[in-house]
Structure 1
Amino acid sequence: MISLIRHLRRRSLLRRPFPEAWLGYLEARVPFFRTLSPGLRQTFLDKLKVFAWEKEFIGAGGLTITDEIRVVVSATAVQLVVHLDLSYYDALREVIVYPGAFKLPDRTGAVLGEAKHWGTVILSWQSVLAGLRNPDDGHDTAAHEFAHVLDRADGAFDGTPRLRRYSHYQTWASVMSEHFRKLQTGQRRERQVLDDYGGLNEAEFFAVATESFFEKPLQMREKTPGLYEELKRFYGWDPATGA
């Protein structure tokens, strides 16, 4: 019943026109939006408006949620699922946005982002903008946290999201484990492409690899081609060529 209600709700949201003002936010703040082909752009806009209207956005630390924040944050989430289904975000209920770095009761020191088990993503607006302003440095907090949501879609933060086919799991496990171990042991090629934080555990490896896949696709394709191909098969597109 919940799935049917969600499906009907999304159909209703899709019929609503895309707000003209939102295009200005995308053009000004989201560099990758300008690179999308006309067909892919329409798919992106359809998914973005559903995500932006479906999820609850909550301002924290004195921040007021504006349409600009809602649209730009939604864009960072939808980039990951342009060739996937929005069902990967079914368990995500709310996005909490702070103006800058923030502290959490269960963490020491300030953080820039966090994905929670219970369907919440917490982001720093300042960090979201920084990730978008530098689209090729391999660091994108929003992409990192939303990758955790994709990972969690099958029930656990374990570095393996719900793959397209059952037959893909064996190769995924082999490739991801290989590069995870190489990053942990400081192999040069992995460290040229991936942040060391990805060596913490398999979940962080997938999130860090996702950041690099979208931000440093050419380097990843050259230095760690097996990892690149596996992520390309999952995400369904090739950011190195834009196809």
Structure 2
Amino acid sequence: MVGGINVLISAEDIVPLLFLALPFGYFLYIVFYTLDLFFLNPFKRIPPLTEKEERLIASQLPFFNQLSISKKEKFKKRVVRFRKRKKIDFHEDVEEREKITLLLSATAAMLTLGMADFLILSIKRVIVYPTQYYSRITKKDHYGEYNPGLKTIVFSADHLLEGFRIPNDNRNLAVHEFAHAISFNVANKFYTRSYVFLLGLKKIKWLFKNPEFNRKMEESGYFRAYGKTNVHEFFAVAVENFVETPEVFENQFPKLYRIIKRMLNFGFYRMPEF
């Protein structure tokens, strides 16, 4: 060829190049998948919370207002990352879907703020029904439930939102079900935080069976009756109280309060002033 270079590449030349390119391409895929998994992919930026969303969280979760500036920033980042990672399946005529998604993400971020695993890997699927639903697994009607086998957490939208309407009535469906999921998630890992959590759960089991503690619990009426079902339900109910009325909790049941505080690693938390 005159005035140029004639390059001829045969099929035999291409095959070795392909064998070299495929492992490299797979390596790049793994790298970007890992970066995306831990939200470190520079090509995928997660939008931060809007001012409107921050105001909603502040109004629905008094916990947020008690955080330091640095903890608020950590909390907000975890909210958007949880929201990005978890797909929520809304059934039928569920309204206020964006609000529900935000509140669920904020609740998960709140309860795991003292932990490393804020994505709660024991949850793969989130389902929201408009109201009370019938579970084909338990053969009962439910407001919400957590199924560790299916790694699925389920809520009824009306009871979910009702839990945020009154911030200090010790009833919050989102907190209750996430407490179950977190308990299962942390208990099945092997690191220091798991040991602290399991030790706390062991202490709660002892209190749950202790006659004197039960007598005091009956007389106070502080914990709702559903907590008597079993120790796991008692833990979830106690976490609701811990979140919604921490000052009353610490005054009436200081030992249990300290146990849960250590389990959730909430040493950073300042008591709200009502």
* TM score, norm. by length of structure 2: 0.74
Paired position in structure 1 for 2:15: none
Residue 198 of structure 1 aligns to a residue whose secondary structure is: helix
Pick from 141, 144, 147 the counterpart of residue 173 of structure 2. Answer: 141
Paired position in structure 2 for 1:193: 222
- Is the alpha carbon distance of 1:87 and 1:135 closer, same or farther for their aligned partners in structure 2, counting shifts above 3 Å? closer
Paired position in structure 2 for 1:17: 47
How many residues are matched?
A: 237
Question: For the residues of structure 2 that align with 1:64 and 1:214, how far apart are their CA atoms?
Answer: 26
Whether the 8 Å CA contact 1:137–1:215 is kept in 2: the answer is yes
Residue 122 of structure 1 aligns to a residue whose secondary structure is: strand
Deviation at 1:129, TM superposition (A): 1.5
Whether the 8 Å CA contact 2:78–2:118 is kept in 1: the answer is no
| Matches for 1:205-216 after TM superposition, within 5 Å | 205-216=234-245
Deviation at 1:196, TM superposition (A): 2.1
Deviates more, 1:12-21 or 1:65-74: 12-21
Question: For the residues of structure 2 that align with 1:240 and 1:192, how far apart are their CA atoms?
Answer: 25
Deviates more, 1:200-209 or 1:86-95: 86-95
Whether the 8 Å CA contact 1:218–1:240 is kept in 2: the answer is no
Deviation at 1:24, TM superposition (A): 4.4
Paired position in structure 2 for 1:100: 131
Residue 114 of structure 1 aligns to a residue whose secondary structure is: strand
> C-alpha deviations, 1:71-99, integer Å up to 9, x for none?
11211222101111235601211211112
Q: What is the identity, as a one-letter code, of the residue corresponding to 1:176?
A: I
* TM score, norm. by length of structure 1: 0.82
Q: Is residue 2:102 matched to residue 1:54? A: no
Deviates more, 1:54-63 or 1:185-194: 185-194
Deviation at 1:11, TM superposition (A): 2.0
RMSD of aligned alpha carbons: 3.2
Residue 137 of structure 2 aligns to a residue whose secondary structure is: coil
Deviates more, 1:233-242 or 1:7-16: 7-16
Deviates more, 1:124-133 or 1:141-150: 124-133
Deviates more, 1:102-111 or 1:217-226: 102-111
Structure 2: stretches of 5+ with no match in the other structure: 1-29
Deviation at 1:8, TM superposition (A): 3.8
Paired position in structure 1 for 2:158: 126
Question: For the residues of structure 2 that align with 1:7 and 1:152, how far apart are their CA atoms?
Answer: 26
| Matches for 1:34-183 after TM superposition, within 5 Å | 34-63=65-94, 66-87=97-118, 89-107=120-138, 109-117=140-148, 118-154=150-186, 164=193, 166=195, 169-170=198-199, 172-173=201-202, 175-182=203-210
> C-alpha deviations, 1:185-214, integer Å up to 9, x for none?
842336533222222222112111111111
Deviation at 1:176, TM superposition (A): 0.6
Paired position in structure 1 for 2:232: 203
Deviates more, 1:144-153 or 1:65-74: 65-74
Residue 48 of structure 1 aligns to a residue whose secondary structure is: helix
Structure 1: stretches of 5+ with no match in the other structure: none
Paired-residue identity, %: 25
Q: What is the identity, as a one-letter code, of the residue corresponding to 2:249?
A: M
> C-alpha deviations, 1:19-51, integer Å up to 9, x for none?
425334424544433333322211111111111
